[in-house]
Amino acid sequence: MGNIKTKELTRLGYKDNLAKSMIVQIVARHCKHVPNEEILSTLVDIQNQPEKFRQNAVWRPLIDLLRPIEPEVHLYDLFPQPIAYRVYGEEEIEPLARQQIEMSMRLPVTVGGALMPDGHAGYGLPIGGVLATEGVVIPYAVGLDIACRMSLTLLDADASFIDRHHDLCVSALQRNTAFGINAQMPVAQYHPVFDKPEFKEIPLLKGFREKAIRQLGSSGKGNHFVDICEVVLKGGNALGLPQGSYVGLLSHSGSRGLGAKIAEHFTSVAKSTCRLPVEAGAFAWLDLKTEAGEEYWRCMTIAGEYSEANHERIHGNVMEALGLRPLASVSNHHNFAWKEILGGGREVIVHRKGATPAHLGELGLIPGSMASPGYLVSGLGHADSLCSASHGAGRAMSRQEARNTFSRHALRKYLAERNVTLIGGSTEEAPLAYKDIDHVMASQQELVRIEGTVIPRVVRMAEEE
């Protein structure tokens, strides 16, 4: 009973090796006590009348493999003009970023949007773009680095610790962080997020689980960093800590290869079913009521939890090396989509691609550069920005332009003058390649309240390529 040989399947006309392997697995799992004759008869019926078994929980995976349902393709036109949206720091926004946000405001599913003062051109939605849609999620409006995230831990030492133990700070970052596309920690990391059912139930996540485990505790390249910094808190700050100067640990990293794989896969799925004019193709969406839409949302959520776990391991490892304990912590995603309620009780999907959530009283982090201050902020819940703020200073130069403009020697000199030690890093991320963070903050005074200043001191980034 329940023991089918692959040669029997071949005689029945099953020639695809993947199908035969699936049948053997199904029989072993679900048909242990079913006579072989009955199983073989069912397999003949499946070949002759596959749709009869489409809703059968046992055999549906085989039907889906042998007779996949062709996705229904929908064609959409754009609004002739963009709907109203708000731009902050308009004088420093490049034309291409404006074109991209305006394109998103012409989508028939769009109900609102805004562009933050650090905005610059991206792919599809610009960096700094905020987009509210109804009932759909746009993978490329979330971005490739799903749940790219800022995390700050305030430690139980004053800022003089950094100068007194400078070599320890350098060593802690060198030994307990790793950077680059294929970076992984020398000591294997683990986190309960990998026990989530999604890593067993969703093939895409299941196939990428082992690599995600290997990359846990590491960061990518580009503007990702881990920084031992000085945090100056204002009196009456939202953390409830005394005014003063603290050692902080600030990290900027995302969901690594896991997020990129999710984004690439579901963007392809979206483009296969949602046909838009060529110039708007990157905005292909997934209806959240469809199987693909639900699965993307689950995968995006797991990527967010993985990113959070990644920062937890980074902070835990570095804190242990420093011998310090946490006093408070603040974190926020800035590449993500959320279900939120607009005025009037309307539920929408708010995409923030390079934008910080800033609901009333919500804490967030807006970094500057490797040598300019960042800010701990609390949101003011401004409706025109869809309760959002910038996610940093924003680039003033492309990476190529920065490489052509700044030498390594000039970068080192600039950092030394500002008492910043850089481990790794590249001229692509030179501070002067970014907008002036104080100009950016001045452009969003109605969006956030400054609770404290974060001053870089010892910064670790990916090595120059």
3-state helix/strand/coil string of 259-325: HHHHHHHHHHHHHHHEECCHHHHHHCCEECCCHHHHHHHHHHHHHHHHHHHHHHHHHHHHHHHHCCC
Whether residue 453 sits in one domain with residue 323: yes
Instruction: Quote the domain boundaries for residue 427.
Output: 148-254+303-329+357-463
57 domain residue, yes or no: yes
* Cα gap 331→337, rounded to integer Å: 16
3-state secondary structure of 133: strand
Does residue 170 contact residue 343 with C-beta atoms inside 8 Å? no
Q: Is the pLDDT of residue 1 over 70?
A: no
- The average pLDDT across 305-317 equals 97
The residue that leads in pLDDT, 123 or 151, is 151
The residue that leads in pLDDT, 389 or 123, is 389
Whether residue 179 sits in one domain with residue 316: yes
Cβ neighbours of residue 339 under 8 Å, at least 6 residues apart?
A: 347, 348, 349, 350
CATH of the domain at 408: 3.90.1860.10
Q: Extract the tokens encoding 58.
A: 């046992």
* Cα gap 38→31, rounded to integer Å: 10
Whether residue 366 sits in one domain with residue 241: yes
Q: Residue with structure tokens 């607009």? A: 342
Q: What is the pLDDT of residue 342?
A: 86
Cβ neighbours of residue 464 under 8 Å, at least 6 residues apart?
A: 408, 424, 425, 426, 427
382 domain residue, yes or no: yes
Q: Is 13 left (phi over 0), alpha (psi -120 to 50) or beta?
A: left
- The average pLDDT across 402-407 equals 95
3-state secondary structure of 70: coil
- The average pLDDT across 297-324 equals 97
Q: What is the pLDDT of residue 209?
A: 94
Q: What is the pLDDT of residue 8?
A: 86
End-to-end CA distance of the chain: 60
Average pLDDT, the chain: 94
Whether residue 373 sits in one domain with residue 241: yes
3-state secondary structure of 457: strand
3-state secondary structure of 169: helix
> What's phi and psi for 175, nearest 5 deg?
-90, -20
* Cα gap 182→191, rounded to integer Å: 19
- The average pLDDT across 344-349 equals 91
Whether residue 55 sits in one domain with residue 157: no
Q: Is the pLDDT of residue 448 over 90?
A: yes
Q: Residue with structure tokens 């992984």? A: 184
Q: Is the pLDDT of residue 28 over 80?
A: yes
Does residue 307 contact residue 247 with C-beta atoms inside 8 Å? no
135 domain residue, yes or no: no
- The average pLDDT across 426-435 equals 96
369 domain residue, yes or no: yes
Q: Is the pLDDT of residue 2 over 70?
A: no
Q: Residue with structure tokens 């000199």? A: 413
Cβ neighbours of residue 58 under 8 Å, at least 6 residues apart?
A: 26, 30, 31
110 domain residue, yes or no: no
> What's phi and psi for 301, nearest 5 deg?
-60, -45
- The average pLDDT across 406-418 equals 96
- End residue of a domain, out of 45, 66, 87: 66
* Cα gap 183→460, rounded to integer Å: 14
3-state secondary structure of 211: helix
pLDDT digits (tens, 9 = 90+) for 267-277: 999 999 999 99
pTM equals: 0.85
Please tell me the total count of domains within the chain. Answer: 2
102 domain residue, yes or no: no
Cβ neighbours of residue 386 under 8 Å, at least 6 residues apart?
A: 112, 113, 114, 130, 132, 340, 350
- End residue of a domain, out of 21, 36, 66: 66
273 domain residue, yes or no: no
Cβ neighbours of residue 168 under 8 Å, at least 6 residues apart?
A: 321, 322
pLDDT digits (tens, 9 = 90+) for 147-183: 999 999 999 999 999 999 999 999 999 999 999 988 8
For strands 110-120 and 127-133, give the pairing.
antiparallel
Q: 454: pLDDT confidence band, cut at 50, 70 and 90? A: very high
Q: Extract the tokens encoding 252.
A: 């900027």
117 domain residue, yes or no: no
* Cα gap 178→226, rounded to integer Å: 10
Alpha-helical segments (H) within 323-407 = 399-405
- End residue of a domain, out of 51, 66, 81: 66
pLDDT digits (tens, 9 = 90+) for 50-81: 888 888 888 888 988 888 766 777 788 999 99
* Cα gap 379→392, rounded to integer Å: 15
Distance of CA 418 to the CA centre of its chain: 31
Q: What is the pLDDT of residue 407?
A: 95
Q: Extract the tokens encoding 403.
A: 């490489």
